[in-house]
Structure 1
Amino acid sequence: MTSKNSVIYQLDGKPSIKQAIPLGLQHILAMFVGNVTPLIIIANVVNMSLADKTALIQCTMFVSGIATLMQCYNFGPFGARLPIVMGTSFGFVPVLTVIGTKYGYEAILGSCLIGAIVEILFGKSMSSLRKYFTPVVTGTVVLAMGISLLPTGIKYFAGGAGADDFGSLSNLALGTIVLLTVLFLNQYTKGITKLSSILIGLIVGYIVAIPMGKVDFTSLSTVNIMSIPTPFKFGFEFHLDAIIAVAATFIVSGVETVGDITAIAHSGIGRDATDKEISGGVMADGLGSLVSSIFGVLPNTSFGQNVGIIAMTKVINRNIVGVGACILILAAIFPKFGAIISLMPSSVLGGASISMFAMIAVSGIKLIASEPLNERNSTIVALAIGIGVGVSFVPGVFASLPESIQLIFGDSGLVLVALIAVILNIILPKEKENTDLEVGIV
């Protein structure tokens, strides 16, 4: 099964259900909490009722499953036909928080609806724009993405931001157990245990957390056995400043997706992503987000956690991720299933997330290193990371700028990273082939 000729290492191979379910479930467990957390944050900002919040969490899982299937198998020109897991984007949280506070939830959905169309058009133009997204540019964005996710992983590891027992010894111990389990299985075992190291680590952590009193099953009695997600639960409002800010964030989300697709193709298949894969993937990003708006939930994008899993396991089979997407849809239709997963303590997820997020950063480094790291390329990486990631460590750095600018740049710094990398890649002169004279120039 673990031979590199196995179908699980083939993009279009057809694995058995015995292979596909645990490996697909691994992808879903890795992204599950991150998938619903942005919605919970925004729902709290707009003071949404518990009933509405519960219904939208269900819709979030449903739309993520549909969007993931679209990426794996494509819908016309939409989809990369790669093992891309789609989920609710954290990158939109800062801008949507401001919009929700200023205009309300309907304005969030209206701006996301228009922004999704902008991303579809952006994806359709990728064949002519791709020359601006060289491995150095996309690698820099992927590297920044991995770095920006690490604080989230550490917060999970310590118990989750805002938790009463944040940083407690029990949370740190639980996260460490998961991390060591994943590390041991990944490095010292073979076969299904190596490939499912993250899944097994999460299960071990979940089981250990129960006697520690960190899992409360009492809420399961209030969850319906079966429920169908419904669209158009909320209306739409359109405000120009909100639309501009969200559209800009969608473009950056598209650039992140380009980076994820590039990283999957590079680290999983060992080749460059094709124009069709990149264009289809970004367009599916937009279409998935358009469907999200219809179902009243936040924009979808490719999930970096799952890029990290592929980088760790080299399991590139898209049918495995397709099975994972079906699990997501079932979790939406049968809420008790999703509720059991949602009870997973944050520290358990953090123990697995740290290595996955770090692997995303490593994938970015590999992409950057696939081109000569000459003075020009080094400057692009240094300035984009230095400024873009640097400002994310200093909240309020744009406080004196107009609110519209703050909306666009948010707190993550990824907008700046992408913008700086693309602009520098366009304006900096190309370096000539090294000569004996040029080698000595620093």
Structure 2
Amino acid sequence: MTDTRTGFYSDPDETPPLVQAVPLGLQHVLAMFASNVTPSIIVAGAAGLAFGGPEQVYLIQMAMLFAGVATLLQTIGLGPVGARLPIMQGTSFAFVGVLAGVAATQGLGVALSACIIGGCVHFVLGAFIKHLRWLFPPLVTGLVILAIGLYLIPVAIKYAAGGAAKFQMEAESFGSLMHWSVALSVVIVALILKFFTNGTLSNAAILVGLIVGYLLALVLGMVNFAPVANASWITSITPLPYGFEFSLGAVIAVTLVSIVSAIETVGDASATTKAGASREATDAEISGATYADGLGTAIAGVFGGLPNTSFSQNVGIVGMTGIMSRHVVTIGALVLILCGLLPKIGAVIASMPLPVLGGGVIVMFGMVAAAGLNVLSEVEMNRRNMVIIAVSLAAGLGLNLVPTAVQYLPGVVNTLATSAVAPTALVAIILNLALPDEI
């Protein structure tokens, strides 16, 4: 119902007038746009796809298109699927480490096939997610999110310096003042807008920073518009663009991250109802949100999209505006679908020089790590919990940084052991169950 004292819409089924609803929907898109397309760019690069090439453009389009589709599953729903809350879906950073590693070593066919299977498992989790929450207290989820951020930060630095692949890092231009000037312009603009403005401009700070960095790179002659000119106006969607290739190690790794992603979605659903309606999320809403996560991920994987999850930054918009209408977010979903169907938009994004993207992901990946720390701030820092944090991070990040330390492990186990996220999560869960509470 509408709060007559504030004008806020606390009922998900209500819709503000279009003059309010459309700008609010666009605000939701602006807040998540950069974060949504970045994982596809990174995984495409890890797979060896040409930067700015048609295959990378296609993956970017699928990121936009199926983020919109997954959001519609959340806001409109389909039977038990969907929380029917204003939850914005987008491509998940949580999977980047695992999928980049799989794409680099086994190819995109294996990575996307693992996404399809992982999405199906994620969907099934919706039936009993409430019974698994005890395995993932803030200590475990915070550690996993922190590990994801710490794993990704070196990737951000490589992009900002001008490259990611080995040959690019060996080039004379790698780490040049020009590259860092462009990257830092993105960081500085994003920080200024985030902390010295408010409303839409503040929520879209990273996106505006990327635009400023892009324009600077254009002035410096770093942008190649040839892919934009060659891109068509309407996309053709291809099922299984890289075939279907099963790898047990990849499936296990993606499934483990899917469980963590599901727990995150539970948190986002709860945070949304608290922020917009001052109530707890119902079991049906939590299950529906998880079903939508999994189904959206599986469908995206079929067409070349990466796993989807709820976006926490959009929960902040609900809290800031006080507008709980799910139809506002539906408008944002339709905008994303439109963008996904226009290859010209994907080509413009793909033409973004690496240092521009690097400046953006320095902030984004740092925020992922900071989000993990924020979750851990709820945990009492006694000796038991500090030991769990220390051993879990040492195992997860250590094996990822020195993969030859486990080079003789069989393929499936080796993939999991060096993925950073999987060993961190596994060690944290085991130690949290095994170690006694301090008296």
TM-score of Structure 1 vs Structure 2, range by shorter chain? 0.7 to 0.9
- Give the letter aligned to residue 378 of structure 2: S
CA distance in 2, matches of 1:293, 1:143: 26
CA distance in 1, matches of 2:268, 2:186: 25
Partner residue, 1:159: 162
CA RMSD of aligned residues (A): 3.6
CA distance in 2, matches of 1:358, 1:92: 19
Contact 1:123 1:282 in 2 (8 A): yes
- Give the letter aligned to residue 18 of structure 1: P
Contact 1:139 1:259 in 2 (8 A): no
Residue pairs, 1:93-104, within 5 angstroms: 93-100=100-107
Partner residue, 2:38: 33
Pick closer, same or farther for the CA change 1:169–1:141 going to 2, 3 Å. same
Residue pairs, 1:187-336, within 5 angstroms: 187-232=195-240, 235-238=243-246, 242-243=247-248, 245-259=250-264, 262=267, 279-295=287-303, 297=304, 299-302=306-309, 307=312, 322-336=330-344
- Give the letter aligned to residue 198 of structure 1: I
Partner residue, 1:87: 91
Partner residue, 2:428: 421
1:42 to 27, 43, 47: 47
Contact 2:32 2:313 in 1 (8 A): no
Contact 1:22 1:199 in 2 (8 A): no
CA distance in 2, matches of 1:351, 1:52: 23
TM-aligned CA deviation for residue 180 of structure 1: 1.2
- Note the alpha carbon deviations across 1:347-378, whole angstroms, 9 max, x for none: 22322322332222222222222233333322
Residue pairs, 1:346-357, within 5 angstroms: 346-357=354-365
TM-aligned CA deviation for residue 308 of structure 1: 6.0
- Give the letter aligned to residue 101 of structure 2: P
2:347 to 339, 342, 356: 339
TM-aligned CA deviation for residue 96 of structure 1: 4.3
TM-aligned CA deviation for residue 336 of structure 1: 0.8
CA distance in 1, matches of 2:408, 2:7: 56
User: In terms of mean alpha carbon deviation, does 67-76 or 27-36 score higher?
Assistant: 67-76
Contact 1:245 1:404 in 2 (8 A): yes
DSSP 3-state at the match of 1:302:
strand
TM-aligned CA deviation for residue 423 of structure 1: 1.3
Partner residue, 2:3: none
Aligned residue-pair number: 413
Partner residue, 2:180: 172
User: In terms of mean alpha carbon deviation, does 346-355 or 165-174 score higher?
Assistant: 346-355
Contact 1:289 1:300 in 2 (8 A): yes
CA distance in 1, matches of 2:232, 2:241: 19
- Give the letter aligned to residue 132 of structure 1: L
Contact 1:267 1:314 in 2 (8 A): yes
Contact 2:47 2:100 in 1 (8 A): yes
TM-aligned CA deviation for residue 335 of structure 1: 0.8
User: In terms of mean alpha carbon deviation, does 330-339 or 33-42 score higher?
Assistant: 33-42
CA distance in 2, matches of 1:428, 1:273: 32
Partner residue, 2:71: 68
User: In terms of mean alpha carbon deviation, does 401-410 or 228-237 score higher?
Assistant: 228-237
Pick closer, same or farther for the CA change 1:312–1:205 going to 2, 3 Å. farther
Partner residue, 1:439: none
Partner residue, 1:124: 127
CA distance in 2, matches of 1:424, 1:321: 40
TM-aligned CA deviation for residue 257 of structure 1: 4.2
Contact 1:263 1:367 in 2 (8 A): no
Residue pairs, 1:323-402, within 5 angstroms: 323-402=331-410
CA distance in 2, matches of 1:325, 1:160: 32
- Structure 1 residues not aligned, in runs of 5+: 433-442
Pick closer, same or farther for the CA change 1:294–1:211 going to 2, 3 Å. same
Pick closer, same or farther for the CA change 1:253–1:378 going to 2, 3 Å. same
- Note the alpha carbon deviations across 1:15-42, whole angstroms, 9 max, x for none: 5323432551341133323224314533
Partner residue, 2:29: 24
Contact 1:62 1:229 in 2 (8 A): no
Contact 1:85 1:321 in 2 (8 A): no
Pick closer, same or farther for the CA change 1:293–1:301 going to 2, 3 Å. closer
Pick closer, same or farther for the CA change 1:399–1:281 going to 2, 3 Å. farther
Pick closer, same or farther for the CA change 1:154–1:243 going to 2, 3 Å. same
Partner residue, 1:133: 136
Pick closer, same or farther for the CA change 1:359–1:112 going to 2, 3 Å. closer
Pick closer, same or farther for the CA change 1:329–1:9 going to 2, 3 Å. same
CA distance in 2, matches of 1:18, 1:180: 26
TM-aligned CA deviation for residue 224 of structure 1: 0.8
DSSP 3-state at the match of 1:396:
helix
- Note the alpha carbon deviations across 1:204-231, whole angstroms, 9 max, x for none: 2222221111222232221111124243
CA distance in 2, matches of 1:385, 1:273: 32
Contact 2:266 2:290 in 1 (8 A): no
Pick closer, same or farther for the CA change 1:119–1:17 going to 2, 3 Å. closer
TM-aligned CA deviation for residue 173 of structure 1: 0.7
Pick closer, same or farther for the CA change 1:409–1:127 going to 2, 3 Å. same
CA distance in 2, matches of 1:146, 1:199: 19
DSSP 3-state at the match of 2:140:
helix
TM-score, length-scaled by structure 2:
0.80
Pick closer, same or farther for the CA change 1:55–1:365 going to 2, 3 Å. closer
Contact 2:162 2:354 in 1 (8 A): yes
CA distance in 1, matches of 2:400, 2:418: 9
- Structure 2 residues not aligned, in runs of 5+: 1-5
